[in-house]
Chain A
Amino acid sequence: MYKYDQYDQAMVDARVEEFRDQVRRRIAGKMDDDQFKPLRLKNGLYLQLHAYMLRVAIPYGTLNSRQMRALADIARKYDRGYGHFTTRQNIQYNWIKLAEAPDILADLAKVEMHAIQTSGESIRNISADQYAGAAADELIDPRPWCEVIRQMTTFMPEFSYLPRKFKICVIASKEDRAALRWHDFALRIVKNAGSEIGFEVYAGGGMGRTPFIAYKIRDFLPTGQILSYLQAVLRVWNRNARRDNIHKQRMKILVHDLGQEEFTRQVEAEFEHFLSLGQDFPQAEYDRVAAYFDPPPFEQGLSDELDLSDPAFARWVRHQVIAHKAPGYAIANISLKPAGGIPGDISAEQMDLVADLAETYSFDELRATHAQNLVLPHVRKADLYAVWQALVEAGLADSNLDLVTDIIACPGLDYCSLANARSIPIAQKIAERFADAERQADLGELKIKISGCINACGHHHAGNIGILGVDRKGSESYQLLLGGSGDENTTQAKIAGPGFDEDGIVDAVERTVEHYRAVREPDERFIDTYRRVGMDGFKEAIYG
């Protein structure tokens, strides 16, 4: 994986010291909150419901065991013994003290991590397929491109005062595991008729108050022209964006106001201009970065045989293990969705264990997924049983990937100061209702996503079943949505009807699921059935 060079390290170290001084001045009363807030947000430090919250970037979701251990140490030393993985491949700490925040950033810098651009109107942590570099179906590893874009954009003035936050995603397979078209700007690596590698480009996606699925704005962009193209996109947005209304400043609003054609036309015109400046990085620069992502030294001649005589292990393999591109290897998913747990939460001890497993069994690599789970990307099939046993011991061996209990839920009213309703208890109640493993397996792929407010951090717009918490005259109420997806057939979920209270929403989910069971055809996933039969039958089943 990418290693900081002396410039990267010096920049991050300098930012830590700068922030240390700013915190000192704030605590000494030399700055008020209005002056200090933008400074702390530049370093990922929010003020949430109960304490300061620090959001740490995990670029494209990749980290090594040393970094994971540092994250565990931070949880132990400065927080309350746990961390929370989010839907944008970041980790959040909920109980940070202001005076200690600079020390945390210093500890992060020692392992080449930081919290820059995890807040504010910046290019946020770039997300990618969590199986990058390992997936059997990918064209090339998309992460070098993420890293190149990250390096090119991090401190570039044109990108540091954007109208609004800007989220980028890069994948390299047909199957979309990263919710590509829900991003402001997204790239899918493809091959053209001449077998050249390039990008299919999407723009204008995003959730929140005004959800939009990104349009495709280009079929093929030669990879080497990405910086010019990205600059063109941002220039068109910067020039046209409304800066008078915070709800209308995201790029998705502009793209959909102008329309796909006009937006694309303006981008292409700018693109010609940027190309003529010849500022794109040289191939050698890409090669330098890409070398850090060379495949690990996979052993040759390994067997693909697996002993599945232990039924619990067999179930885990069936649900959690995915095909790898190297023979004899597999991708192992670690569920952070134990029954009754908090989606995405992990204790310091569990982080240490996962780090150990990565070091021993996965070429020192780990991934965080947008579904708030973790991944060991390169495990020898022969080692899967040992990995599973260790996970069982640590309470991390749930076999529910993409099943009804693998719920994405934002922190909601339990932690977030913007929330209208709690999300986590709803996730817990649904998980308890569907705890039976046989029933879960019978239902098959079913993605439930819950947000505690319209901002959609829990991706309810992309839920096969989405749940949105709203405030109804001072009490929590929950809307049910159906038919959303974040995969290669991206769709936006639609509201089914009036909202429910806390227990009512769980019953409504159950009625939804039972209707699916009643009308599904063999091998049909929930989303396929919904697409085939439409909303009406579901509505009838839910509301009677």
Chain B
Amino acid sequence: MFDFLQGYDVLGAFWMTVKLTALSALGSLVWGTLLAAMRVSPVPLMRGFGTAYVNIFRNIPLTVLIVFTSLGLADIFGMTMGASDFKIQGFRLAVLGLVAYHAAFVCEALRSGINTVPVGQAEAARAIGLNFSQSLRLVVLPQAYRAVIGPLANVLIALTKNTTVAAAIGVAEASYLMKTMIENEAQTLAIGAVFALGFVVLTLPVGLFLGWLGKRLAVKR
């Protein structure tokens, strides 16, 4: 019944999706945290930069960003991302685009988390002599992270689904393989079902686990 799977590396394609997701998630968490720190910092210019970044990158379609990394950054500006061959370059460019886009959403989620921390906590932190970066690092961010596990899980799930856009620049992940397969094979419906199921399997446990974790770790107030 599943003969059509033969000759195609379905697991390999999903492994590519997982790799894209993991690297981009890490990158956007780091860059998004930095952006969030900028957006709440006492320096107006940094706040302005953070706001501008979020508004710009949230409103550009991810597809435009990713196609731009390939046609613009790589082809015109010769940015090879330190890659030796074309496949690795495509992968790294896709990660770059995914990070640039999702960091804006991570930043917004974190900022809303920072807003849930009561002002009294920060006042207490200042009262015992902590400065801005200390109170952010030791008092506010740990509580903020625990409050936004749910929203961050949503960003992660959206990121998992959005990695399919990397197919637009030829990265051989799940949707790229599905496109090839449904063009070549007769069982459109079965192929669609296999890939749909793959994504359900990828996103459902993550959502359930992080949702459970978020409820467990949330600071009860």
The answer to whether A and B assemble together is no
Residues of B within 8 A of A (CB): none
Residues of A within 8 A of B (CB): none
